[in-house]
Amino acid sequence: MVDTLLVIEDEDLLANELARHYRASGWEVAHAANVGAARSLLEKKSLEPLVVLSDMNLPDGSALDLLEWARHHAVGGEWILLTAYGTIPDSVRALRLGAFEFLEKPCPVERLDLVVAGAARSARAQQRLRDQTAAHNRRYSPEAFFGSSSATAELRRMMHKLSSVPLTAIIITGETGTGKGLAARILHYSGMRAAGPMVEINCAALPAELLESELFGHEGGAFTGAKGRHRGLLEQANGGTIFLDEITELAPGLQAKLLKAIEDRRLRRVGGEREIEVDVQVLAASNRDLPTHVADGSFRADLYHRLSVFVFDVPPLRSRMEDLIDLVPLFVDEFNVVAGKCVREIPDQAWSTMRGYRWPGNVRELRNAVERCVLLSDGERFPVEWLQLGQPSGPEGGARTMSVDSGSLRLPIDGSLSLDDMEKMIIEQVLDRVHSNVSAAARILGTTRQTLRYRIEKHRIETSD
């Protein structure tokens, strides 16, 4: 499908030159000579431009008024404004309305091409978010949190209640694998911001220097490799929700910057000079005890209090075992479709085994176990022998143990350990063998000392090196 560029320009010579240039670049170009003609194209002819390139001052009004009308009527696309007499109030209003760029005439064509290309990338990203939002609105509701236990029924009741109030921030707590991500999506897509985008990021997935750029965006040339403008995830989530998973992994400096952005509803891109208004709901999740991290100083108390407008706790599967009767058939049906299987009969022995297990990996571990059984099944019977549920240790049922012999480490893959848990345990065991010599441990693990030091600090592993 050919992308559409709308050129709003009353100077015919310039308009024809822009249309010729961008048609040669593969665009479908529409032209309007004034505000009225442009509004007619957008409203009556349902034109859906990917990018709008508009003169600021038009014969029958200002492009800023047209942009404000377009935003109010949910007309998509990025706007680039050109003017020969730019003023500070105009540029401020343009940014407040979400214009992609504000350029002074005459603008070199090379510069204009770069800005148009950047606007097109941004508009495509926004369109993908809108498409995902529409699909997820149909998929996620409180009823999507399956289970017949009283604990799960209470979760659904609370989700319905939270979705009807305009909360600015919610902390979602619970063990790994309980369904915190699903709860976050339900809270957004059934809530008052469902029409806006939902943007998700795992704060443990990126180092701090990249995480700042991902969250807040950057201007071209802000750092090595920053070739163009990048809208951060907070900016992309404007009008909707941002879900910050593993919030405790945020570095202290980023915690302070995030707090300021939430409080002021403004942010500044890395390398930027202007503040940008953002209006987002923040959902933050953690499988750790946040008050403990606040007490030991690793998490800012002011950020915690700002985020904890409401604390939504998702209980572990072992405290809502009645949900197995709903979840197991659901997962069986899912993997029947995926693998082309026809498992229909779940024997009493399978139910007894599953009900007698404490599920340290929670719903994620249950799903993995059902997937394994369905994929390895030979007929309609659910194969109990492939459940392979280990015996949990300790009062919490956490089979978080690792066997060690002279030359290798052996980790459980029953869902009881997250990837981060495995990484931490491997590093701890290797450090123990080399008496906390980080350089020696790095050589054994095939990495650099700097990389290993970053991982040690990330997992808060104590060493004497």
* Distance of alpha carbon 310 from alpha carbon 168, whole angstroms: 9
Amino acid 461: pLDDT: 86
- Residue 308 sits in the same domain as residue 322: no
Residues 236 and 289 in one domain: yes
Residues 240 and 112 in one domain: no
- pLDDT the model gives residue 302: 95
Domain end call among 295, 313, 331: 313
Range of the domain at 429: 418-458
Residue 187: inside a domain: yes
* pLDDT block averages, 10 residues each, the chain of length 465: 88 92 93 93 88 92 91 86 79 82 87 92 83 67 91 94 93 94 93 90 86 87 72 91 94 93 91 88 93 92 95 94 95 93 94 92 94 93 88 41 56 67 85 85 84 84 72
Mapped onto helix, strand or coil, the DSSP state of residue 352 is helix
Position 413 scores a pLDDT of 64
- Looking at the structure, do residues 157 and 106 belong to the same domain, yes or no? no
Whether 344 is covered by a domain: the verdict is: yes
Are 308 and 329 members of one domain? Answer: no
For the question of whether the overall pTM of this predicted structure is more than 0.85, the answer is no
Q: Is residue 158 part of a domain?
A: yes
How many domains are there within the chain? 4
CB burial of 342-360 (b: ≥16 within 10 Å; e: otherwise) equals: ebeebeeebeeebeebbbb
| Single-letter residue type at 86 | G
In a domain, 399, yes or no: no
Residue 167 and residue 271 in one domain: yes
Both 121 and 161 in one domain: the answer is no
**What per-residue confidence (pLDDT) applies to 114?**
92
What single-letter DSSP state applies at residue 387?
Answer: -
- Do 151 and 285 have their domain in common? yes
The pLDDT of residue 412 is: 67
Name the E strands within 289-333: 311-313
Question: Is there a single domain that holds both residue 300 and residue 197?
Answer: yes
Residue 72 lies in a domain: yes
Claim to verify: residue 306 and residue 339 sit in the same structural domain: no
pLDDT given for residue 207 in this prediction: 84
Of 62, 274, 267, 25, nearest to 79 by C-alpha is 62
Q: Is residue 397 part of a domain?
A: no
pLDDT of residue 179: 94
In a domain, residue 11? The reply is yes
> To the nearest 5 percent, what fractions of the chain are helix, strand and coil?
45, 15, 40
